[in-house]
Amino acid sequence: MDMQRRTMTMISKLYYEENMTQQQIAKQTGLSRMKVSRILQKAKEEGIVRIIIDYSGVYPELEQDIKGKYKLKDVVIVDTSIGNSSKEQVASAAAYYLERHLESGSTVAVGWGSTMRLIPDYIQKMDDPELLFSPIIGGHGQSELDMHATTIASNLAKKTGGRSLSLIAPALVKNKEEKTFLSDDNQVKRVIERTSQAEYAVFSLGNPLAKDSSIKKSGYISEADLRQLEKEDAICDVVSVVFLDKNSQICCENITERCIGITEEQLKKIPNKICVVESREKYDSVRSALEAGYIDILVTDQDTAEYLSK
């Protein structure tokens, strides 16, 4: 071994294996810090140091592919092949994303459902009283309370040290007259107005036609409305404020015009719409929402991501 190679190997060992700083190495060897930096760079060029990144469970190329294809701000793909259920894993990834990206003073519009209710469980305890969580839509019939947007908003506030608003109204009413009456309530007006001004929205998607869809189990939608969803081939439920068909077009407006919450237009204007979704039965639901522009940031599983990339 020639002396130059020996020096590169020795300095690389000190830096990469013994975790010494370049300044510490310079002091020990009598070289300048600049010289140490150049030797470390040359060691990489000569192949003495080989940096290997383990991409198992991480999909940077697939994330970039989907990000570019659908013009998204960010994509997080979760390896759900091992560990907990895929729903729990995407919820955990969404919680981590929120921890890192929510800015103090922000308002977060919150969706409902079985995926959304898991996110507060994975949020690390924080202390940010300037965060505000506000429900996108009212309560849902016979569904469990922890699936309601208001409950999820409250649970997120508890974990982050923030505040939450409550939308004390049903998600869906029988007719437009009943909606007008309930929406005239000052408290309901204030919550909807505040939610519409949110900097972030976090929600999941549903497939209304799927056998075990949350919208069917919730008990808040009538048999007539379910028949309407089937008739118009609604494959995507975006927080029940908008339904989309297989062509990514809005459908079933006679249902959404009876919902109490923010409007489809207001949801779309929220600048950072974070969608948390997984499962084979929602493949086309996600694609439809992406093509229609209701998602800015996608948190999903590998299988869904691979489908979207095709």
> Mean pLDDT over residues 94-103, rounded?
93
Mean pLDDT of 74-100: 88
Tokens of 213: 């869809």
Q: Are 36 and 29 in contact (CB under 8 A)?
A: yes
- pLDDT tens digits, 169-198: 998 898 989 998 998 899 999 999 999 999
Report whether 73 contacts 101 (CB < 8 A): no
DSSP E strand stretches across 156-258: 163-164, 200-203, 205-206, 234-238, 242-245, 250-251
Residues present in the chain in total: 310
Residues 131, 49: Cα–Cα separation, whole Å: 45
* Calpha distance 81→283 (Å, rounded): 17
State how far the alpha carbon of 150 is from the alpha carbons of 82, 110, 275, in Å.
32, 8, 18
Rounded Cα distance, 258 and 180, in Å: 9
Q: Which residue has the tokens 């930096």?
A: 37
Distance between CA atoms of 179 and 160, rounded to whole angstroms? 33
Which residues have a Cβ under 8 Å from the Cβ of 158 and sit 6 or more positions away? Answer: 120
What one-letter code names the amino acid at 234? A
CA distances 8 to 3, 38, 60, 309, Å, are 9, 10, 32, 43
pLDDT digits 0-9 by tens, 106-130: 999 999 999 999 999 999 888 999 9
Q: Name the pLDDT band for 101 (thresholds 50, 70, 90).
A: very high
Look at residue 299 in the predicted model and tell me its pLDDT: 97
Closest by CA position to 206, among listed 277, 147, 287, 106: 277
75: which DSSP letter? E
pLDDT at 146: 77
Question: How confident is the model over 139-176, as pLDDT tens digits?
Answer: 865 556 678 999 999 999 999 999 999 999 998 898 98
**Cα gap 36→29, rounded to integer Å:** 9
Q: Is the pLDDT of residue 271 over 90?
A: yes
Mean pLDDT of 15-31: 94
The residue assigned the tokens 């900097």 is 199
How much is the mean pLDDT over the chain?
91
Domains and CATH numbers, the chain: 3-45 (1.10.10), 60-309 (3.40.50.1360)
